[in-house]
């Protein structure tokens, strides 16, 4: 009978380092070293090699972190990054909140941004060229979903008014319409062709040029994860979250009020303005309170999500409009 005695250095094959990690061992070690530092910054989203690779492939990664703009104060702590990046409404990838994995299929480079409509001259440029022209900064914003939950996120990006200035809209333009990507090959939700894809959103010119309107490219000091709307999304924190379109490819300046995606699906529940107001209920639920992600508390909702001092003036003469739906 053959009895095998292992010599000290003989290891089972199962103990061998997986080839994929061996081939990327230098990045793996870098990831390990940076781990404790990154965790401190709340960027646990980059704990694995694949994500670290993606960050290297993103040419804008070296621009981060952006300088902090402290104008807008938070009244509550930041939501942990792992919640913000794992609980997402992005119907292009499915109607559950669990679309983070599906969203990885979206190619974010090359990403072309088109600026057209009532402008001096239509512009088409890559997202990185756009970033090079914009005043990059980081802002801490509250985000209030129409579903009565909220979070606070450190967004990195640039003021929308800078993009409007770049666009040079004509005097007749009164709205800016944003169109998100259309790619059914990678976005499962868009394969349901009877939905009115692509996602469309809109703001008035005065809303788009108010300082609070923020175009976002990153979060937590890094390029935004795809499920959060990379590489370009809107953050209008005084409105319900569905106004903050993700994956924007086009800005069209127009004189007709855009009919946004949710408005075309259910106008009685989702309107153009969608300003946050605790006294105006959604037809199916009250908007008086919101569940804060992570903390677990249910807190009172604030008019304009607490940003009234910056934006209430925009609506002074619009009291006949359905401002809060």
Partner 1 sequence: MTGRRIYPWLDRGGRLSVLKLVVFLALFMPCAWTLLSYGRETLGPRPLTEAIHQTGLWAIRFLMISLAITPLRRMLQWPRLILVRRMVGVAAFGYATLHLALYIVDQSFDFRLVASEILLRFYLTIGFVALMLLSVLAATSTDGMIRRLGGRNWRRLHRSVYVIATLALVHYFIQSKLNVAEPMVVAGLFAWLMADRALGWSWGEGGRRPFWALAGLGALAALLTATGEAAYYRLANGFDPWRVLAANVGSHFDRRPGWIVLAICLAVTTAGLLRSRYAPQARRSQTANRITATEPAR
CB of 105 to partner 1, least distance (A): 15
CB of 293 to partner 1, least distance (A): 4
Closer of 229 and 231 to partner 1 (Cβ): 229
CB of 106 to partner 1, least distance (A): 19
Residues that bind partner 1 (CB under 8 A): 83, 86-87, 91, 95, 97, 147, 149, 191-196, 264-266, 281, 283-286, 291, 293-294, 298
CB of 171 to partner 1, least distance (A): 34
Closer of 71 and 264 to partner 1 (Cβ): 264
Closer of 192 and 255 to partner 1 (Cβ): 192
Residue 155 · residue 141 · CB < 8 Å: yes
Following DSSP, what letter does each residue of 84-150 receive, concatenated? Answer: HTTS---GGG-SSS--HHHHTTS--SS-EEEEEESBSS-EEEEHHHHHHHS--EEEEEEEE-TTSEE
Residue 136 · residue 157 · CB < 8 Å: yes
CB of 231 to partner 1, least distance (A): 24
Distance of CA 149 to the CA centre of its chain: 16
Residue 156 · residue 136 · CB < 8 Å: yes
Closer of 281 and 308 to partner 1 (Cβ): 281
Q: Can you tell me the distance from the alpha carbon of 24 to that of 5, in angstroms, rounded to the nearest whole number?
A: 34
Closer of 60 and 263 to partner 1 (Cβ): 263
Residue 161 · residue 210 · CB < 8 Å: yes
Q: Can you tell me the distance from the alpha carbon of 223 to that of 230, in angstroms, rounded to the nearest whole number?
A: 8
Q: Can you tell me the distance from the alpha carbon of 265 to that of 249, in angstroms, rounded to the nearest whole number?
A: 21
């Amino acid at each position: 009978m053959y009895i095998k005695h292992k010599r000290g250095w003989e290891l089972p094959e199962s103990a061998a380092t997986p080839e994929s990690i061996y081939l990327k061992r230098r990045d793996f070690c870098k990831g390990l070293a940076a781990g404790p530092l990154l965790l401190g910054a709340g960027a646990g989203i980059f704990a694995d090699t694949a994500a670290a690779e993606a960050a290297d492939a993103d040419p804008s990664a070296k621009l981060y972190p952006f300088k902090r703009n402290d104008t807008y104060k938070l009244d509550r702590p930041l939501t942990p990054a792992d919640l913000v990046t794992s609980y997402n409404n992005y119907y292009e990838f499915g109607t559950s909140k669990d679309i983070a994995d599906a969203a990885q299929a979206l190619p974010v480079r090359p990403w072309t941004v088109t600026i057209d409509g009532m402008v001096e001259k239509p512009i088409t440029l890559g997202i990185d060229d756009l970033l090079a022209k914009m005043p990059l900064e980081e802002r801490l914003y509250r985000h209030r979903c129409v579903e009565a939950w909220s979070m606070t996120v450190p967004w990195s990006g640039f003021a929308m008014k800078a993009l409007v200035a770049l666009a040079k809209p004509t005097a007749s333009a009164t709205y800016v319409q944003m169109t998100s990507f259309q790619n059914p090959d990678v976005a499962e939700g868009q394969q349901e062709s009877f939905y009115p894809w692509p996602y469309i959103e809109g703001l008035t010119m005065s809303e788009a040029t108010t300082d609070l309107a923020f175009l976002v490219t990153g979060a937590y000091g890094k390029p935004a994860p795809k499920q959060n709307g990379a590489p370009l999304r809107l953050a209008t924190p005084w409105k319900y979250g569905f106004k903050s379109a993700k994956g924007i490819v086009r800005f069209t300046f127009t004189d007709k009020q855009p009919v946004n995606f949710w408005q075309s699906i259910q106008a009685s529940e989702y309107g153009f303005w969608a300003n946050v107001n605790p006294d105006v209920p959604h037809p199916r639920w009250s908007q008086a309170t919101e569940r804060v992600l992570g903390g677990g508390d249910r807190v009172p909702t604030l008019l304009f999500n607490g940003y009234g001092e910056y934006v209430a003036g925009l609506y002074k003469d619009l009291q006949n409009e359905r401002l809060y739906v």
